[in-house]
């Protein structure tokens, strides 16, 4: 059956077919493929006379069950791709260490995916000797004032200086040294 081979091919959700986004692709796919056999089965059931028992259409019924199973598999795949994209964006927004409240929401495979994705980024940046996580627009001053939002530790090295990063303390540090702590919510830029 051509629709079965199409389903198995589409269930992988190749990116080349998803230029408008996964949801748009999925909606178009559902419009094309699902519901026809179920409608046919319902029409058969409602068109029968109530007193007259006709042969059960097991082929159509089996096709509807197969469509539902494939629909379920495709939806699972869609959810996994969506979560993978979110996990990738977290690496760029938060950094290589996720806060505990986010880690609690990830399963083991997702944590491994994040770890491997972070390692790949780190390896690539090391190979280029370039930090891709810093601002795309160069700051006017490499130093910023930061306020510590939570106790981080005493005698902590940031760049070439050592700081006592206690709650509500304010420090002048290099932007690149503070970005990781800012993205984790442990510091904020202090504007005055």
Q: How confident is the model over 126-138, as a mean pLDDT?
A: 76
Give the architecture (CATH level 2) of 2-127: Up-down Bundle (1.20)
- Its pTM stands at 0.54
Q: Residue 19's pLDDT is what?
A: 47
For 16, the token pair is 């080349």
The half-sphere exposure of 138 on its side-chain side, counting CA atoms within 13 A, is: 3
For 85, the token pair is 């994209």
Query: Angle at CA 91, nearest 5°, toward 84 and 176?
Result: 170
Residue 32 has pLDDT above 90, yes or no: no
Q: How far apart are CA 152 and CA 182, in angstroms?
A: 12
Q: How far apart are CA 153 and CA 135, in angstroms?
A: 26
DSSP state of 17: G
- What tens digit of pLDDT does each residue of 38-92 get? 777 777 777 767 677 777 778 888 888 888 888 889 889 889 999 999 999 999 8
Q: Residue 22's pLDDT is what?
A: 61
Residue 142 pLDDT grade (very low, low, confident, very high; cuts 50, 70, 90): confident
For 125, the token pair is 């940046």
For 36, the token pair is 């026809």
């Amino acid at each position: 059956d051509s629709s079965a081979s199409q389903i198995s091919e589409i269930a992988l959700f190749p990116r080349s077919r998803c230029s408008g986004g996964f949801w748009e692709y999925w909606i178009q796919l559902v419009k094309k493929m699902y519901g026809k056999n179920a409608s046919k089965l319902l029409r058969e059931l409602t068109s029968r006379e109530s007193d007259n028992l006709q042969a059960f259409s097991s082929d159509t019924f089996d096709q509807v069950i197969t469509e539902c199973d494939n629909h379920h598999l495709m939806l699972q795949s869609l959810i996994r791709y969506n979560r993978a994209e979110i996990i990738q964006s977290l690496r760029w927004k938060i950094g290589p260490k996720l806060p505990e409240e986010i880690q609690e929401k990830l399963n083991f495979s997702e944590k491994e995916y994040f770890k491997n994705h972070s390692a790949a980024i780190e390896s690539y940046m090391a190979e280029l000797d370039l930090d891709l996580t810093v601002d795309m627009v160069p700051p006017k001053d490499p130093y910023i004032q930061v306020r510590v939002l939570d106790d981080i530790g005493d005698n902590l090295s940031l760049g070439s200086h050592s700081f006592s990063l206690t709650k509500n303390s304010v420090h002048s540090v290099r932007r690149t040294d503070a970005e990781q702590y800012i993205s984790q919510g442990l510091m904020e830029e202090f504007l005055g």
